[in-house]
Amino acid sequence: MCVTVAAGGLMLPQARAFFAYNFACDWHSAFVPEPTKTPRFGYVTDFEGLGLTAPLAKDLVVHVPWTNASAPSYTPVSISNHEAHVVGVIENISWAGGVGDAFTVSCYMSQENAHKLAALKQTALKTTAISSFGFWIASYDQEAKKWYEEIHPLAPTKIMGQLSAPSKTDIRLHIGDEGVKVSPAVDVKVYNVYFEVVPAANQTANFTIATSSSMKTVKGWGLVVGTLHK
């Protein structure tokens, strides 16, 4: 543990610095890919909890540049003919890097899934527990000329958490009122959903985070009482 010496010789704990992460994705490319471009993209693969009677449906069919023969290691992503069925298309995910810090997620979901979440919030959430949340972001290594998995849960592959709700009037779940067209030429609308997930009590998870196709690390999230993360 890092310490610092204050005036009078008193030993005080020194704040540990964390590296913040921000993954901005091109969500339009999930629906209308451009073969000549290689933007970062990502998907919400699973979402269950908050009192929902069933997990949110994987009702969006999206593009994935991987082939079946070179499928990602993140098993919740099932690819067939360069397509996958997912819960949501990520616009942005950020994390301050600390074991107790929230993952903030902005994504686009179908009208059905968005309306289910909106209905829960309108009737007052009975629980903020999220029993299953999976996401996967990929990027392109310009030097190696290949796609790689940039961040996803490692163990477990679908994490448990809590919706961030500092107070009864400050619940970190917001659903757009109006649908957004996926492309000017495609008359399909999706709805923006923003939420923040904090660790569940006495639960931990690991995430794989990569900076290239050959450089990756594992980061921990959550804390079990009685243990110390170094």
Other Cβ atoms within 10 Å of 225 Cβ, number: 6
In a domain, 213, yes or no: yes
In a domain, 10, yes or no: no
Q: What is the pLDDT of residue 226?
A: 66
**Digit-coded pLDDT (tens) for 82-93:** 899 999 999 999
Average pLDDT, integer, range 35-59: 96
What is the arithmetic mean of pLDDT over 143-148?
93
**Is residue 159 in some structural domain?**
yes
Whether residue 73 contacts residue 149, with contact meaning beta carbons closer than 8 Å, is answered with yes
Q: Which of 95, 96, 92, 101 is nearest to 198 (CA)?
A: 101
Q: Does 228 reside within a domain?
A: no
- 215, two tokens: 């450089």
Mean pLDDT, rounded, for 194-221? 95
Helix (H, G, I), strand (E, B) or coil at 29: helix
Distance CA 30, CA 182 (A): 9
DSSP, residue by residue, 76-136: T---BTTEEEESEEEEEEEE-SSTTPPEEEEEEE-HHHHHHHHHHHHT--S--EEEEEEEE
Residue pair 229/99 in contact by the 8 Å Cβ criterion:
yes
Tally of domains in the chain: 1
Does residue 3 form part of some domain? no
In a domain, 230, yes or no: no
DSSP class of residue 56?
A: P
With respect to residue 12, please indicate whether it lies within any of the assigned structural domains. no
Q: Could you tell me the residue range of the domain that residue 73 belongs to?
A: 17-222
Q: What is the pLDDT of residue 150?
A: 97
| Confidence class for position 187, pLDDT limits 50, 70, 90 | confident
User: Residue 186: is its pLDDT beyond 90?
Assistant: no
Task: Name residue 183's amino acid.
Answer: S
34-38, 174-178, 218-222 — which is least confidently predicted? 34-38
- pLDDT score, position 27: 95
Residue appearing with tokens 């074991």: 99
**Local confidence band at 227 (pLDDT 50, 70, 90 cut-offs):** low
Task: Judge whether 1 lies within some domain.
Answer: no
**Model-wide pTM > 0.75:** yes
Query: Within 10 A of 129 (CB to CB), how many other CB atoms are there?
Result: 16
